[in-house]
């Protein structure tokens, strides 16, 4: 794998544009268009919430074809819980993009993020779609990453280059998300673009596996969105031999994709609404991976654990309590817990290292919690952040 350069490497054949529609508030670009010069294979993963936004429902229907050429996205309005009108608006947006770019509507995917339960202001959106199509290629991927933000404080973008045969291909990913983050999937939009030719089946498997190990293992507040969408487009403009699951370069492609989704996941958690600390929880010694996940999420979603870390208080009894109600089978008298390298729980009992542990929390913005259940060989890592007064302020005034 070739090391990522400091600037973003853009995959060949993708054009970008961004525009200000003032959907929620004026003063920033809040619509963007991603356009591939050639039809691309596409794979997607969508929210597991039974309440799905209109764009998600449309995307789930269109993804069956495995083909795409454009993504139109807006922030400020989720177009969720908007009934038949919401679906009509999503379809109309795709048709306007298709007409402007002279492609089939079925090749256009619509994504929205923002306030739930408000109809889309189509009188603002229609003219901006024509503007976006006309300006295609006049923006950078960084501009798209900025346009899709809601409560995010910075755009999130990761790009890597890899060798495929005798060619150098690029995979670039952007995402948004800072609140309403819970697994299956985390509340977010994610768009991954590559100029590498990848078979539909292989692309689906690669994305599904990557999401399971990244976006499905982060939590900020335990709330699941109606709009979560991760899409990957592979337009093949690198000109490589089509990658299949058994192709020599597929393993490298998958490893690079895994790295991109994991790094994007970390950026989401680090930008958690009101967060001051990034927390990695690693559970080892579990009977199986699912039990490791369950234990990790119980700790990660505990408001008591998250507020203690915010307050630099190594109240590790809260961690033990969370493991206890996680629903897994384990012997509490065999559990060891570390904060950083400090052993704070030994065989289920306090190790008496509160002062050292409190100092560790005070001195560090990135916190590592290691839990060893000492039962089996399985493990899992869960990412989260602390819980602060600022989170309440942000969400109390979200619509105003």
Active site residues: 187
Give, in order, the Cα–Cα distances in Å from 155 to each of 112, 284, 306.
16, 33, 25
Asked if 349 and 231 touch (Cβ cutoff 8 Å), the reply is: no
The residues with which 43 forms a beta bridge, in sequence order, are: 232
The residues with which 137 forms a beta bridge, in sequence order, are: none
353: which DSSP letter? -
Torsion on CA atoms 70, 121, 141, 270, rounded to nearest 10: -120
Cis peptide upstream of residue 185 (ω within 30 degrees of 0):
yes
Q: What percent helix, strand, coil does the chain show, rounded to 5?
A: 35, 30, 35
CA–CA dist 285, 291 (Å, integer):
10
Paired tokens of 227: 């709009």
CA–CA dist 23, 53 (Å, integer):
17
Paired tokens of 313: 């208080």
Asked if 343 and 357 touch (Cβ cutoff 8 Å), the reply is: no
- In angstroms, how far apart are the furthest CA atoms of the chain? 69
Residue ranges of E strands in the chain: 14-19, 31-46, 67-77, 108-115, 156-164, 167-176, 189-194, 229-234, 278-286, 336-339, 342-346, 349-350, 366-372, 378-385
**CB neighbours of residue 325 within 10 Å:** 9
């Amino acid at each position: 794998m070739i090391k990522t350069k400091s600037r973003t490497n853009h995959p060949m054949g993708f054009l970008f544009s961004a525009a200000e529609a003032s959907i929620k508030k004026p003063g920033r670009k809040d619509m963007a268009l991603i356009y591939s010069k050639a039809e691309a294979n596409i794979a997607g993963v969508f929210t597991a919430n039974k309440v799905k936004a209109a764009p998600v429902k449309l995307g789930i229907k269109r993804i069956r074809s495995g083909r795409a050429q454009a993504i139109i996205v807006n922030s400020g309005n989720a177009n969720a819980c908007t009934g038949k009108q919401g679906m009509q608006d999503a379809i109309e947006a795709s048709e306007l993009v298709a007409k402007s770019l002279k492609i089939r509507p079925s090749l256009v995917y619509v994504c929205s993020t923002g306030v739930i339960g408000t109809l889309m202001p189509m009188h603002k959106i229609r003219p901006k779609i024509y503007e976006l199509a006309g300006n295609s290629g006049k923006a950078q991927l960084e501009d798209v990453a900025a346009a899709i933000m809601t409560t995010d404080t910075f755009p999130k973008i990761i790009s890597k280059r890899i060798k495929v045969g005798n060619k150098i291909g690029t995979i670039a990913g952007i995402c948004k998300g800072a609140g309403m983050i819970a697994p299956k999937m985390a509340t977010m939009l994610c768009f991954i673009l590559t100029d590498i030719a990848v078979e539909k089946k292989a692309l689906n498997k690669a994305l599904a596996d990557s999401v399971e190990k990244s976006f499905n293992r982060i939590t900020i507040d335990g709330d699941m969105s109606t709009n979560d969408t991760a899409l990957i487009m592979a337009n093949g403009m690198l000109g490589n031999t089509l990658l299949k699951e058994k192709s020599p370069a597929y393993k490298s492609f998958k490893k690079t994709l895994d790295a991109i989704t994991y790094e994007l996941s970390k950026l989401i958690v680090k930008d958690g609404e009101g967060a001051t600390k990034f927390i990695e929880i690693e559970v080892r010694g579990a009977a199986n991976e699912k039990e490791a996940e369950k234990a990790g999420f119980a700790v990660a979603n505990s408001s008591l654990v998250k507020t203690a870390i915010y307050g630099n208080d190594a109240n590790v009894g809260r961690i033990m309590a969370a493991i206890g109600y996680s629903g897994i089978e384990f012997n509490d008298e065999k559990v060891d817990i570390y904060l950083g390298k400090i052993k704070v729980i030994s065989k289920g009992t306090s190790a008496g290292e509160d002062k050292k542990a409190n100092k560790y929390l005070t001195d560090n913005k990135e916190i590592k919690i290691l839990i060893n259940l000492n039962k089996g060989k399985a493990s899992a890592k869960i990412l989260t952040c602390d819980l602060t007064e600022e989170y309440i302020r942000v969400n109390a005034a979200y619509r105003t």
